[in-house]
Amino acid sequence: MTPPEGFLCKQCGRCCLNLDGFSTSAYPEDIARWRAEGREDILEWVDIFYYCGQEGGYDIWISPVTGEGVTRCPWLWKYPKKEKYYCRIHDTKPKHCRDYPLEKKQALEYGCKGFES
């Protein structure tokens, strides 16, 4: 998927600093990729739920310590002394993160700066 016209990520982190209302589920292909890559560090933040004895869905960014969802992405890091952030799992991040934003309205709701000149 390509980003909306006029969007250029400015690394403001807004999409990852507040996960309330943002998709916190992974697609089966994300889980399969992380398993194939041996990314246990990522998988420990996934809560797999079952339906009729089979994997039915994947909630992500569930703290392995508390079992609760976190409000900020655990893979987001801030550059020292800058107002910019980076994703520590950028090369294998979930599909919903790769596809963000779906539309300009979604980005503006999060205060994303990707549409600013």
pLDDT digits (tens, 9 = 90+) for 12-59: 999 899 887 677 889 999 999 999 999 999 999 999 988 888 888 899
Residues 6+ apart with CB under 8 A from 61: 19, 24, 45, 69, 70, 73, 74
**Residue pointed to by tokens 């809560």:** 47
Maximum separation of any 2 CA atoms in the chain, in Å: 50
How do the domains of the chain map onto residue ranges? 14-109
At 21 the pLDDT is 67
pTM here is 0.86
